[in-house]
C-alpha cells in the first residue's frame, strides 16, 4: 500500500525537456577503446529503450581502412563483451546497426571531411545533415585540428548560425594543467561557442552523483544540518581495487591527481558543498560549482607538504592474488615517481563551511572498489553518555554510497536491548537496489542523451575546468618534481601509505573505510 502511494507521489521533472531532434552523431577516434567499451553499448541501450530521436545516424570517423560492415562486425563483438544487458537482443541490434556507418580518414585531411559531408547529405534528411553531435574521443592534441577542419567543411558553425545545431563533446583529460586547459578552451571556442562545448566527466552521469543535489535540496531535514555548525568534517573516498593495468603509458603522464582528483573528486565535492542554485537549469548549477571551487583555500607549497599525501603501490595482495608494483607495470619507468594514490585536506573559505576539513582520497590497488561521501557530524557535548563513553560514543554520520551497492545510510547511537545500559552505533539504510530494483544505466547513456538534447547541466563549463586545474596545479607545484620517499609507498591491497592516516590524525580524525556488502 505504501509502495503504491510512493509511486503516486513521483514528481517527474524533465517533462518540459526539449524532445530530442533527429541528428547524426559522429565519433572521432572510432577505433578506440572508449567507443567499444562505453559509447556503442550506451547508444545501443538508448536505442533499445527508445530514447534516441525518431531518426538518427552514428558515424565512426577514424584512420583505419574498413567498410561499414567491418565496423558493425567489430562493434557487435564489443557489445557482446561490454553490454550491461546480455545476451544482446538480435532484433534491437539489427535495427541499431542499420543506423551505423563508417567514414575513413585522417583528422588532418580536408578531403576526409568532404567525404563526411557527402555521407551526411546522402542520408537524405536535412536534420541528419545539420543537427550534428561531434564526439571527440581522440587525443586532446587533435581537438584543434578536428574543430578547424569541421569548420572549414561547413559542418560546424560557431553560435549555430544557420540551420540546425552542432555540438562538440570532449573527453577527459581536458588538458594536463591550467595553461593547457586554457589553450584547449581557446582552440575549441575558436570555431564553436561555449554553449556548443560539452566537456565530459563521467561521474556526473552516475545516478548517485546526480542524487546528491536531489538529496540535499528536496529534503529539509538534512540541508539544515549541512554546514559548519553541525558538520565536523567530510570524507570523500573513491577507491579502486584495480591497478593501472595496460594504461601505464597514459598513467605515467597523468597520475592520480590529474586522473581522478582534478575531475571526479572535485566534482563530487562541489556537489556536496555548493549553495542552493537559483534554479535547476544548467547555468545556475554550474555558477554555484565554480563559486565553490573558487572558495577552496589555495594551497601554498607549505600547505601541500602538510595537507597532501601522495603514494605509489608496491607489490601486494589484492582479492587474494599477488599484484605487481606500479614500477613493474607495462610502460611504466622502473624509477617512476608517478602517484597512484592521493589523500588531501581542503578547506572551503565561505560562510557555510569555514573551518570544516574536507578530506579527499583516491587510489589504485586499494582493498576494494567503492566510492563514498561521509558527512561526519559533530559529537554531542561531553556530558551524559559522552561523559561516560568518551570516544566510544560514535558521532552521527551520513554516508552517501555512490558505487557499488548504491545507497544512503545514517549512523546514530541506540540502546543495546537488555538489562544493562549499553549504547552502540546502529544504522538506518536506504538501498537503491532494494527500493528501485537493479536498474543502473551506465553514466554514458545519460550523458549522450543529455548532449543530444542540448542540456549542459551534467557537463563541465570552461571556467569550472580551469578552477579545478588551479587547485591541481598548486599541488603539483608543491610536489615540485621531488622523488617519492619511503613513507609514500604502500602495499597493493592496503588503504594507502601511513601518511594518509597521519593526515587525519592531525585533528584527531580517522578514515572510515568503505565496507564490502554494506
Ligand atoms: C577514469 C579514470 O576517469 O575513471 C580511471 O581515468 C578510473 O583511471 C575511472 O579507473 C574510474 O571510473 P569508475 O566509473 O569505474 O569509478
> Which of 171, 192, 218 is the endpoint of a domain?
171
- 399 lies in a domain? no
229 shares its domain with 93:
no
User: What does the chain come to in residues?
Assistant: 518
Examine the residue annotation and report whether 151 is marked as an active-site residue of this protein: no
pLDDT tens, residue by residue, 289-340: 999 999 999 999 999 999 999 999 999 999 999 999 999 999 999 999 999 9
Q: Do 49 and 158 meet the contact criterion of CB atoms below 8 Å apart? A: no
Question: What CATH number has the domain bearing residue 363?
Answer: 3.30.360.10
220 shares its domain with 140:
no
Instruction: Compute, in angstroms, the gap from residue 368 CA to the centroid of ligand 1.
Output: 14
Q: Span 233-255, mean pLDDT? A: 95
112 shares its domain with 210:
no
- 185 lies in a domain? no
Q: Do 432 and 406 meet the contact criterion of CB atoms below 8 Å apart? A: yes
* DSSP sequence for 20-37: PPPEEEEEETTTSHHIII
pLDDT given for residue 8 in this prediction: 73
- 26 lies in a domain? yes
**DSSP strands (E only) in 300-367:** 308-314, 316-318, 321-323, 341-347, 357-363
Domain extent, residue 39, equals 19-171
pLDDT given for residue 12 in this prediction: 78
141 shares its domain with 47:
yes
pLDDT given for residue 438 in this prediction: 73
- 324 lies in a domain? yes
Q: Ligand 1 within 6 A of 259 CB?
A: yes
pLDDT tens, residue by residue, 137-150: 998 889 999 999 99
- 191 lies in a domain? no
56 shares its domain with 106:
yes
Number of structural domains found in the chain: 2
Q: Which of 206, 264, 339, 371 to mutate to test the pocket of ligand 1 (most atoms within 8 A of CB)?
A: 264
Q: Ligand 1 within 6 A of 339 CB?
A: no
128 shares its domain with 232:
no
Residues 304 and 288: their CA atoms lie apart, in Å, by 26
- Print burial letters for 288-306: b (CB count within 10 Å at least 16), e (below 16): bbbebbbbbeebeeebbee
Q: Do 407 and 429 meet the contact criterion of CB atoms below 8 Å apart? A: yes
215 shares its domain with 346:
yes
Q: Which of 82, 202, 241, 372 to mutate to test the pocket of ligand 1 (most atoms within 8 A of CB)?
A: 202
Residues 260 and 363: their CA atoms lie apart, in Å, by 9
Q: Ligand 1 within 6 A of 464 CB?
A: no
> Which of 171, 198, 222 is the endpoint of a domain?
171
Q: Ligand 1 within 6 A of 450 CB?
A: no
pLDDT given for residue 437 in this prediction: 83
CA-angle at 426, arms to 424 and 431, nearest 5°: 165
52 shares its domain with 165:
yes
Instruction: Compute, in angstroms, the gap from residue 470 CA to the centroid of ligand 1.
Output: 21
- 66 lies in a domain? yes
- 297 lies in a domain? yes
Q: Do 213 and 13 meet the contact criterion of CB atoms below 8 Å apart? A: no
Q: Ligand 1 within 6 A of 240 CB?
A: yes
Instruction: Compute, in angstroms, the gap from residue 244 CA to the centroid of ligand 1.
Output: 10
State the chain's mean pLDDT as an integer.
94
Cα→Cα distances 444→20, 42, 124, 340, Å:
16, 6, 29, 25
Residues 395 and 382: their CA atoms lie apart, in Å, by 12
Question: What CATH number has the domain bearing residue 107?
Answer: 3.40.50.720
45 shares its domain with 140:
yes
Amino acid at each position: 500500500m505504501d509502495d503504491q502511494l510512493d509511486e503516486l507521489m513521483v514528481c517527474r521533472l524533465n517533462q518540459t525537456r526539449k524532445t530530442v531532434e533527429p541528428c547524426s552523431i559522429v565519433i572521432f577516434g572510432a577505433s578506440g577503446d572508449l567507443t567499444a567499451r562505453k559509447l556503442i553499448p550506451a547508444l545501443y541501450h538508448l536505442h533499445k529503450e527508445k530514447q534516441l530521436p525518431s531518426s538518427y545516424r552514428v558515424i565512426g570517423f577514424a584512420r583505419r581502412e574498413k567498410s561499414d560492415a567491418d565496423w558493425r562486425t567489430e562493434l557487435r563483438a564489443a557489445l557482446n563483451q561490454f553490454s550491461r544487458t546480455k545476451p544482446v537482443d538480435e532484433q534491437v541490434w539489427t535495427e541499431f546497426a542499420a543506423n551505423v556507418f563508417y567514414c575513413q580518414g585522417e583528422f588532418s585531411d580536408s578531403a576526409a571531411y568532404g567525404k563526411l559531408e557527402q555521407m551526411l547529405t546522402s542520408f537524405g534528411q536535412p536534420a541528419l545533415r545539420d543537427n550534428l553531435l561531434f564526439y571527440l574521443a581522440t587525443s586532446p592534441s587533435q581537438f584543434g585540428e578536428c574543430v578547424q577542419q569541421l569548420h572549414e567543411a561547413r559542418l560546424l558553425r560557431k553560435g549555430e548560425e544557420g540551420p540546425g545545431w552542432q555540438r562538440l563533446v570532449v573527453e577527459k583529460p581536458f588538458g594536463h594543467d591550467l595553461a593547457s586547459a586554457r589553450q584547449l578552451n581557446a582552440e575549441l571556442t575558436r570555431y564553436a561557442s561555449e554553449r556548443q562545448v560539452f566537456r565530459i566527466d563521467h561521474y556526473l552521469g552516475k545516478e548517485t552523483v546526480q542524487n546528491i543535489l536531489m538529496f540535499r535540496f528536496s529534503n529539509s531535514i538534512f540541508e539544515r544540518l549541512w554546514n559548519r555548525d553541525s558538520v565536523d568534517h567530510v570524507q570523500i573516498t573513491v577507491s579502486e581495487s584495480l591497478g593501472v593495468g595496460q594504461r601505464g603509458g597514459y598513467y605515467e603522464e597523468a597520475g592520480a591527481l590529474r586522473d581522478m582528483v582534478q575531475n571526479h573528486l572535485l566534482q563530487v565535492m562541489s556537489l556536496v558543498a555548493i549553495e542552493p542554485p537559483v534554479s535547476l537549469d544548467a547555468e545556475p548549477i554550474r555558477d554555484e560549482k565554480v563559486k565553490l571551487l573558487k572558495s577552496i583555500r589555495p594551497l601554498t607549497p607549505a600547505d601541500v607538504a602538510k595537507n597532501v599525501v601522495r603514494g605509489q603501490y608496491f607489490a601486494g595482495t589484492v582479492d587474494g592474488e599477488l599484484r605487481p608494483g606500479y614500477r613493474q607495470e607495462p610502460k611504466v619507468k622502473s624509477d617512476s615517481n608517478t602517484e597512484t594514490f592521493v589523500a588531501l585536506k581542503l578547506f572551503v573559505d565561505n560562510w557555510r563551511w569555514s573551518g570544516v576539513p574536507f578530506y579527499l582520497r583516491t587510489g589504485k590497488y586499494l582493498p576494494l572498489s567503492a566510492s563514498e561521501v561521509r558527512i561526519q557530524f559533530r559529537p554531542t557535548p561531553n556530558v551524559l553518555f559522552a561523559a561516560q563513553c568518551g570516544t566510544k560514543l560514535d558521532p552521527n554520520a551520513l554516508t552517501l554510497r555512490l558505487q557499488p551497492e548504491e545507497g544512503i545510510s545514517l549512523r546514530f547511537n541506540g540502546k543495546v536491548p537488555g538489562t544493562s545500559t549499553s549504547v552502540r552505533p546502529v544504522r538506518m539504510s536506504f538501498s537503491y537496489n532494494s527500493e528501485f530494483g537493479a536498474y543502473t544505466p551506465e553514466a554514458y547513456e545519460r550523458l549522450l542523451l543529455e548532449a543530444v538534447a542540448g542540456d549542459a547541466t551534467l557537463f563541465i563549463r570552461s571556467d569550472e575546468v580551469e578552477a579545478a586545474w588551479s587547485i591541481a596545479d598548486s599541488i603539483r607545484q608543491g610536489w615540485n618534481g621531488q622523488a617519492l620517499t619511503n613513507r609514500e609507498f604502500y602495499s597493493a591491497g592496503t588503504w594507502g601509505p601511513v601518511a594518509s592516516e597521519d593526515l587525519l590524525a592531525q585533528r584527531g580524525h580517522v578514515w572510515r573505510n568503505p565496507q564490502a556488502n554494506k
